[in-house]
Structure 1
Amino acid sequence: MAQPTTKIKRIEITEQDEKRRSLQELQESVADHQEALQSLLTLIQDLESSGVLEILHALLNSKEKVASIALEQILKPSVLNTIKNAMTAMGVVSKIDPEQLGVLMEAFIAGLHQGQKSLESNQRVSMFNLVKAFRDPGVNRALTFMLGLLQGLGQKL
């Protein structure tokens, strides 16, 4: 029959042993991530030499003042209106089909270029030119689009 265990010898880790183990783990981690740490040190040096680190340090030291000023600025009615308008615009843009918007923007840019060329030519527009323009397929397509746009606007107003 086995004898009962009466004495349990516990291994006690001293504070110095714990520090030694932690230091060894840290050294292994530094060795494993040498390139990343080197890049981080370069980044910190660049921030220091450009003065950004000093600015960040000053911001952190006066964070209550900075937060107070930022909150005061944000709560101004004009800023609140801007934020509301931006959110509304984002909501509207999210409803537009991306392909349709892309085509519309390309057409708009092409129209800007053509309009600039027309302005640079310094030609006057006569009634004959207007009637002739109505027969142009591109102008007709744009007018059809604009009329449809105006009808849609009118229905929602």
Structure 2
Amino acid sequence: MAKAIRQINKSIPNYAEEQNQAVAEIVKELAENREAVLAAIGVLKGLNDLTILEAANSLLEQRTEVAAIAIGQINQPAVHNIIKSAMGLFGFLSAMNPNELETMLQGVSHGIKRLSETGHQGEKQSLWKMRKRLRSPEIRAAMTTMVDFMEGMGEVFLENNKKH
């Protein structure tokens, strides 16, 4: 028959053995990821050359003062208005059809380009020539678009006035 086990000996590594094992694991990982480690060292060297690491270290040392200043700046009414406006802008952009927005922005961009060309030429237009240009399909399309835009904006203004 087998002998009964009466005592269990656990081997508890000492501090030096744990340190040696940790160093061995780190060296093994460094060797396996050599390219990534060298790239990270290159990035850190570049940041150090630009003194970005020094600035980041200073920020960390003074983090409570920096946080107090940042919170003070964020807590100003102007910043609240900027945040609300940005949220409204994102809501507006998300409600628009991307194709319609692209068409509208291309039209605005091209119109500004034509405006700058006209400004550089400095050519004066007679009333007769202006009247003649009003009949062009491009100007009629733009005028119709602007009138529709103003009509839609007016509808929303009237609806909001009724609500308030």
Q: Same fold (TM over 0.5)?
A: yes
CA-to-aligned-CA distance 1:90-141 (integer Å, 9 cap, x gap): 1111111112111111111111111222233333333322332232111111
In the other structure, the counterpart of 1:88 is 88
CA-to-aligned-CA distance 1:22-81 (integer Å, 9 cap, x gap): 221111100011111111111111111211111111111111111111111111111211
Cα distance in 2 between the residues matched to 1:21 and 1:74: 48
Cα distance in 2 between the residues matched to 1:7 and 1:73: 67
Map residues 71-86 of structure 1 onto 2, 5 A cutoff: 71-86=71-86
Say what the alpha-carbon RMSD is for the aligned residues. Answer: 1.7
Identity %: 25
Return the letter of the residue paired with 2:59: L
In the other structure, the counterpart of 2:67 is 67
Return the letter of the residue paired with 2:88: T
Return the letter of the residue paired with 1:61: E
In the other structure, the counterpart of 1:39 is 39
In the other structure, the counterpart of 1:14 is 14
Query: Equivalent residue of 2:134, what SS?
Result: helix
In the other structure, the counterpart of 2:135 is 135
Query: Equivalent residue of 2:125, what SS?
Result: coil
Cα distance in 1 between the residues matched to 2:142 and 2:103: 13
Aligned residue pairs, count:
157
Give the stretch that moved more between structures: 141-150 or 82-91: 82-91
Return the letter of the residue paired with 1:81: N
Cα distance in 1 between the residues matched to 2:100 and 2:94: 12
Return the letter of the residue paired with 1:77: P
Give the stretch that moved more between structures: 110-119 or 136-145: 110-119
In the other structure, the counterpart of 1:27 is 27
Which ranges in structure 2 are unaligned for 5 or more consecutive residues? 158-164
Moved over 4 A (4+): none
In the other structure, the counterpart of 1:99 is 99
TM-score (norm 1): 0.89
Give the stretch that moved more between structures: 28-37 or 8-17: 8-17
Which ranges in structure 1 are unaligned for 5 or more consecutive residues? none
Return the letter of the residue paired with 1:21: Q
In the other structure, the counterpart of 2:112 is 112
